[in-house]
Amino acid sequence: MKKSEKNNKQEEPMHDVNNKDKENVDDKNAELPEEKTFEEKFLATQDKLLRTMAEMENQRRRSEKEKNDAFEFGGFNFAAESLSLIDNIDRAVVSFKNDENLKDKKDLDKIISSIEIVKKDLISIFKKNGVEAIECINKKFDPNFHQAMLEVEDAEKEPGIVVQEIQKGYMMKGRLLRPSMVGVTKKAPEKAEKK
């Protein structure tokens, strides 16, 4: 009996192993996705290709725009910093005209006219490169182009009109280089009626 028991015990584990193998095979089949047809594979590949081509076209457009912007506005910082030259020329002319020692000199007009020629040349160079002054006097205050430095009481004009330009503002090809520093009108206070 012992031998037959051993045989039965040996047979049982073998029988279990066979069942486990069948279960494993069934599990593997359940885990595998259904195989795609040729048409489904083709459509998926076509979709990936179209998406890749669209992304490449978008990248090309971005690169082209960046290149054009670099070409158009490459000198933007240089132009913004060069505006101080025009400011300093204006200050020099005003200081020469206000200097009591120079007022009596007959050569003062020659000096001022020479400085004005340099200023005109500089402005001409700016215009050739798309840099132009912002005209703001007697126009409505616009925070996109003007920076209010002071308010001026004015009963004749409506509030928010630029009446004084402290420092000229400039644009470069539609972009703001520097805002105009301005004085803006405000409503004059009404005088209290006397009784």
Domains of the chain: total: 3
**Residue 54 belongs to domain spanning:** 38-73
Residue 176 lies inside a defined structural domain of this protein:
yes
What are the Cα distances from residue 38, in Å, to 41, 50, 109?
5, 18, 90
- CA pair distance 11, 6, nearest whole angstrom: 8
How far apart are the C-alpha atoms of 153 and 142, rounded to whole Å?
18
142 and 115 co-located in one domain: no
C-alpha span between 104 and 112 (Å, rounded): 14
Classify residue 90: in a domain, yes or no. yes
pLDDT at 58: 93
Which two three-digit tokens encode residue 135?
């005209």
Q: Hunting for tokens 């069948």 — which residue is that?
A: 22
Contact between 89 and 119 (Cβ < 8 Å): yes
**87 and 123 part of one domain:** yes
Query: For 16-33, how does the pLDDT look when each residue is reduced to its tens digit (9 = 90+)?
Result: 545 555 555 555 555 555
Compute the average pLDDT of residues 78-95: 89
Per-residue pLDDT, 195: 46
Q: Is the pLDDT of residue 2 over 70?
A: no
pLDDT in tens, 31-81: 555 677 888 889 999 999 999 999 999 999 998 888 887 777 777 888 888
For residue 46, the 8-state DSSP code is H
Tokens 């009596």 map to which residue? 104
Residue 2 lies in a domain: no
Contacts 24+ apart (CB under 8 A), 60-68: none
Tens digit of pLDDT for each residue in 126-180? Answer: 999 889 999 999 899 999 999 999 898 887 888 888 999 999 999 998 889 999 9
- 21: in domain: no
The reply to whether 140 and 119 lie within a common domain is no
Final residue belonging to a domain, choices 73, 90, 117? 73
